[in-house]
Chain A
Amino acid sequence: MFERIYNWIDCRIGLTELIRKEFKEYYVPRDVSLWSTLGFVTLVGFLIQAITGIFLLTYYVPHPDHAFASILKIMNRVPYGWLFRTMHIVGANLLMIVLFLHIIFVFYRAGYKKPRELNWLTGAVLFVVILLFCITGYLLPWSQLSYWSTTIMTAIPTIIPGVGDYISRFIKGGEYVTGITLTRFFAFHVAFLPFILIVIAALHVFFIWRTGFSSLYDDPEICKKVVIYTGRPQYKDGKPFYPDFFNKYMLMMFVYLIAMFFIITFNPDMFLSEYAYVQADPLSTPLMIRPPWYFLAPYAMIRVIPNKFLGISIQLILLVLFLVWPFLDTGDEKNIRKRPILLGLFSVAIITWVVLTFLGRF
């Protein structure tokens, strides 16, 4: 039965030929490792977010009077609602961890160098879009945690002279976080951002497909002497994508799911605070409220640097540098261990980020 269906499809679109050409006969470079699967794991993580998010969307009510109650109903009355919501919360945090590791690895392996500048650019924009997903999604439960974290985060732009207040008001839809903010964030979270993400993710995958896996053994002459597209690099001394690398993908996908269900089983509230299940009260500021962990570093940086404008300026400059890095670092050398200055800066950046994240907790 299945064979007949497969044959019916195959004779129309050439599925067998596609699998043979793109998976079995495509050899990935010999220096790829489990770290190279993190992009795929990010995709899996995002698919989990999309599926669980669509489920939550069918029960969530985006109104300040009902949002918190609808979350409690999802957690208590809807069959297996608790599972989908906990997966969504834990998944969002795990996705950020995997994303950070993916970026670190791609940078370490110089995966942004020609001909992969567009891979990096689309990936960096995806990272920003996913951060926006996190910010907008954080408010939706309308709890004390979400309300006051959003109040802190939306106040940050006010540091910018001149237009800062306007930007902050634009984000919130007024002076304070209110019902307008909730509906605005909801619309962004479920309609606008998914559309942007799908388009950019499709471009990202398309660029990866056309440029192939990054390797230290890439021909440095690509797009230098030869200025026409010569096809995806072939690594005959490498390993076939299927089954060798495909198994790595599957293994890492299961590692991701194991991590997710380990947290859900033993500490489902790991990424929440005691204020996560208290309804938002604009007149009662909880003690020790802070943004989610992945925003602690920028939050701490603004607090640590006495001049707030300088703090936000540094962050904006770092963001621009992050986006356009492939167009600044255009040298041929891909091995970061042969570039001590870059390796030093890279190490300092990671250590600073960890320290600032730690400081942001207090």
Chain B
Amino acid sequence: MRRWVFIVLLVLVMATPLHADFRDLFQRQFIDKPWGGAPIVREGVCVDCHTSKIMNPDYLKIPQEWKMSIHYKNKVSCHDCHGGDPNDAAVSCGTPHSGFIGTPKYREVPELCGRCHVGILKNYLTSGHGKALKTTGKGPNCVTCHGAHNTQKASIDIINDVRCTKCHSYERARIMKQALFSTEKKISELDSIMTSMRKSGALVEDLEKRLFRTTAEFRTIFHTVDVNLVKAKTDEYLNKLGLIEKDLLSLVNEYKFRRNFSAFLLVLFTALGIITYIRQKF
């Protein structure tokens, strides 16, 4: 009898914590926090409205395009560019004091993007592109080359005869593309190796940050659309990329060592296995 009482009590004691009030505390501290570690991409009311029937059909594709963009991948949400409050539709879209921008005017697009891409804005404004926009209101702005919502990771392929010949001949653009080629090729190679290493569990975060910074600096210079400046800076950036490559190769060599070490153990156990087999046979 005493044993059964003890067992029942034990079960009750073990079951009680599962329903105790402290689970509410856990609920707040554990469940409601974005435990993925990265900040949540806040869709909020923007996506709700932009996918609803009341929305202008021209704007219905925006959320879908945004979800395919580099901004979405980097957790940049609607209100980060357009302002407003993603938790309240009335405040978000209805009142100017909420900082809601909506669709910016064509001339104002560079300032909108330049709130984050500061260095690029500075160089763009000194470039032929920027000056044309400011003086005539017709020069290319950011979305002319990069798109508005489905913004993709920039690459050298953005410079092409279809896009550039909308405004001028391709000749100048072609020379610029050639000037960029060697540096962009190296960036692409390093990026590809880092992606592959990351998939194998290599800690390439610091190297990726260095590559990102170097790439961003180099592409900032490109936005001056000054071929001579790009050519003059190419060696400097190739040297910077060379240093990153050196560190990356030491990581690649570490992986080669791992493989060799594992192969050594494989050979060792194979030899021991063969010896055991021979002993067993004879």
Contacts and interface: CB of A to CB of B under 8 A. Distances in A.
A258 B266 CA distance: 6
Interface in B1-51: 18, 23, 26-27, 29-31, 33-38, 40-41
B38 A281 contact: yes
Contacts of B34: 282-283
Contacts of A274: 199
A250 B23 CA distance: 50
For the residues of B in contact with A, the DSSP-based class is helix
A173 B26 contact: yes
A173 B258 CA distance: 39
B280 A251 contact: yes
B169 interface: no
Contacts of B36: 64, 147, 279-284
Interface string A77-115: 100001100100000000000000000000000000000
Interface stretch (A194-202, A215-223, A262-270, A291-299): A262-270
State the majority secondary structure of interface residues on A: helix
A251 B279 CA distance: 10
Interface in B262-282: 262-263, 265-266, 269-270, 272-273, 276-277, 279-280
Contacts of B273: 251, 254-255, 257-258
Contacts of B30: 64, 173-174, 178-180
Given A173-B26, A179-B30, A254 B203 contact: no
Interface string B191-209: 0000000111111000000
B276 A250 contact: yes
B259 A265 contact: yes
Contacts of B18: 170
A338 B38 CA distance: 62
A179 B277 contact: no
A308 interface: no
Contacts of B265: 257, 261, 264
A265 B35 contact: no
A262 B266 contact: yes
B106 interface: no
A330 B270 CA distance: 43
Contacts, number: 113
Interface residues of A, number: 47
A82 B200 CA distance: 11
B261 interface: yes
Given A264-B262, A283-B41, A64 B35 contact: yes
A343 to B, nearest CB: 31
Given A174-B27, A248-B280, A277 B200 contact: yes
B47 to A, nearest CB: 13
Given A75-B203, A76-B202, A277-B199, A258 B269 contact: yes
B40 A283 contact: yes
Contacts of A265: 259, 262-263, 266
A73 interface: yes
A133 to B, nearest CB: 21
Contacts of A75: 201-203
Interface of B: 18, 23, 26-27, 29-31, 33-38, 40-41, 198-203, 258-259, 261-263, 265-266, 269-270, 272-273, 276-277, 279-280
3 smallest CB-CB distances across A and B, nearest first, come from A254-B273, A281-B36, A179-B30
Given A82-B201, A175-B31, A257-B273, 15 more contacts: A68-B37, A77-B203, A86-B262, A173-B26, A182-B35, A247-B280, A254-B272, A264-B262, A265-B263, A279-B36, A279-B38, A280-B37, A281-B36, A282-B36, A283-B34
